[in-house]
Structure 1
Amino acid sequence: MNEIMTMTLTHEIVRSGAMLAGLLAVDYAGVFVALLADLRSGVAKAKRLSQPLTSRGFRSTVDKACRYYLTLFAMTAIDAMLVAAVMFLREFTDWNIPPFPLFTTVGAIGLGVIELKSIMENTNSGVALRDAAATLKGLLADPEIRKIAEKLLNKDK
């Protein structure tokens, strides 16, 4: 009888562990995909603005990834303690709380939202620049404004 309980308990731990590992993999992969999307939007913005791609920009992305994953790892450590407590409560009390990496998942969602905001800022700045260029082009189409602009530009020469 004791062997059957041990086998059932071991099976339960393995099943819960596999589920938790899968959820954590999704969290970590989601943050990685968000970082790659932000990197891509930053590179596209630099190309659109004819700015050089520098190692400083790539280094900041690596630094951001390190900070994000350090934060996520700390949240995973907290979740590990909580999951251990939940499994203890499930074993020795009547509580049936499912183990779930709550802090890691919430943290991954938060980091994904931050990256989404960064992507939107990169996209919106391009739209704003195109709007400004179109407005300037429209203004320079007016002969009087063009003459004033030419005088201002030639003033320093």
Structure 2
Amino acid sequence: MKRSVIVLFFALLVTIILGFSNKTNSNFVREASLFDTVKKKDSIRFLDSIKAIDSIKIVDSIANLSTRMYKKNVEASHYADKFNGRRTASGKVFHNNNYTAAHKTLKFGTKVKVTNVVNNKSVIVTITDRGPFTRHREIDMAKKPFLEISHNKGRAPLRVNLEIVE
């Protein structure tokens, strides 16, 4: 009796662990799991991710952009590596090398110029997710653009100014 209960418990545990696996094949879009931020119907569609090369072209022409100040002297942080390959709230696949960010209220697809208050380095990111869900943080960026403007070896949080690119 005890042996069958242990075997059943072990089989159930293995099933649960495999059900929450985040690995995907290149030709297969997995179904949304409990921890994803999209609805099941969105995971069926194939969605393109934002290309880093497009963001680099935008960054090169920062001087020619018209921007309007959104918020000054707010905290920014970066995504953890464990979120690579997961879907964002907009349905796009997240990668820490893309120039993307999360914001609580801005529309998806909004381009935001993020400028470090200390060293005046700036980068342009696209809003593709909701968050950050930490108090007093305004924006949560992918790791690559965060490190480009960081002055303290990538330690979060960072004081930034946010401008909306028009």
TM-score by length of 1: 0.29
Higher percent of residues as helix: 1
**Rg bigger for which structure?**
1
Higher percent of residues as strand: 2
Structure with larger RCO (C-alpha < 8 A, sep 6+): 1
